[in-house]
Amino acid sequence: MNSATSSNRFTVRQALRYGVGAGIICVIWVVILYLTDTNPYGPKRLLSVFVPPLAALFSQWAVRRSFLPAGPGLRRVLLAGILTTVLAAVTSAAGVYGFARVTGRAPIDRHLTEMKTLLEASRAEFIKQPGGQAQYERARQSLAHTPQALASDDFEKKLLFGLLLSFPGAVFFRK
């Protein structure tokens, strides 16, 4: 086994460690919200969106630290960040899906009721804008109402924010 294969395995191990760990933290946050009688799919769940980007940065930092003084290079650090983000998003989305299936329909219905109330309260603001009525209807229709939709929403948000931070992190940690 040559050093390139060994260093690639190390990069993948770091991404696995930080990515799966971040996904588990996100799922734990959803469970905590549920246990504290807070809407586990509501706005407070979005606080966990910051976990995958932080995990990607920590993963990139760990890869950089192991390749000092020469540095790992942009490609290896970018791989660590992207892989960490994807693993965190997949783990989190799978956890949200499983949680939604286990807890049943009641928390989802509660979430929909709360979100429709919030949308109705901001309807006047929507209508003031050009095309606001159509925008309001799209927002109402796009509310996640199945475990699959909740998991998809979770995956998309975490992947997007994680990837956005992976690229500047890779540039910063490349040397």
Three-point CA angle 165, 170, 172, nearest 5°: 100
Q: In Å, how far are 5, 53, 66, 79, 164 from 8, measured between CA atoms?
A: 5, 21, 12, 9, 23
In eight-state DSSP terms, residue 170 is: H
**Average of pLDDT values for 123-131?**
83
CA–CA separation, 48 vs 91, rounded Å?
13
Contact in structure between 30 and 97 (CB atoms under 8 Å) = no
Predicted confidence (pLDDT) at residue 113 exceeds the cutoff of 80: yes
Give the distance, in angstroms, between the CA of residue 70 and the centroid of all CA atoms in the same chain. Answer: 32
Q: How many CB atoms lie within 10 A of CB 60?
A: 31
Give the C-alpha distances (Å, rounded to integers) separating 175 from 29, 39, 43, 66, 74: 34, 43, 38, 11, 8
Query: CB within 8 A of 94, min separation 6: which ones?
Result: 23, 151
Element (H, E) at 173: helix 147-173
Binned at pLDDT 50, 70 and 90, residue 156 comes out as: very high
pTM beyond 0.75:
yes
How many CA atoms, within 13 angstroms, populate the side-chain half-sphere of residue 161?
Answer: 17
pLDDT, tens digit (0-9, with 9 covering 90-100), for 39-79:
999 999 989 999 999 999 999 999 999 888 887 888 999 99
CB 99 within 8 A of CB 27: yes
pLDDT of 78-94, one tens digit each?
A: 999 999 999 999 999 99
Q: How far are the Cα atoms of 79, 89, 101, 122, 154 from residue 15, in angstroms, in the given order?
A: 8, 12, 28, 41, 19
DSSP state of 27: H
